[in-house]
Amino acid sequence: QLHLVESGGGLVQVGGSLRLSCAASGRTFSSFGMGWFRQAPGKEREFVAAMSASGGHTAYADSEKGRFTIFRDNAKNTVYLQMNRLKPEDTAVYYCAARVDNTREPSWRGSYDYWGQGTQVTVSS
């Protein structure tokens, strides 16, 4: 089992920044590909960003390219999501997830084996 706990969410104004953290425990974190997803009220959970186990490959949803950055610190068993120039439409619960098989498509929810409980991000205008 891999246990994931997100933190860093909160209320921020339009144009502001937040850094989300996802701390992992229970198994060897460095062997997992990691991803961030989000879910707004009444909407499907959608892909935000992903990083391979090695950190050598990243992927982003088109709407997040250039504004969000995913990175990981394997020594701290933590993956981060730096979010800049936030917009009201970024308001959602943000979830981190881990996939055992790094060959799976990183933007698919079904590729992930473990999920955190989520952290709320609210962008106010």
Backbone angles phi, psi at 118, to 5 degrees: 95, 155
Q: Quickly list DSSP for 63-106.
A: GGTTTEEEEEEGGGTEEEEEE-S--GGG-EEEEEEEES-TTS-T
pLDDT score for 1: 86
Q: For the chain of 125 residues, list the mean pLDDT of each consecutive stretch of 10.
A: 96 98 92 97 97 93 92 96 97 97 94 98 95
Closest CA to 47 of 61, 66, 28: 61
pLDDT score for 113: 97
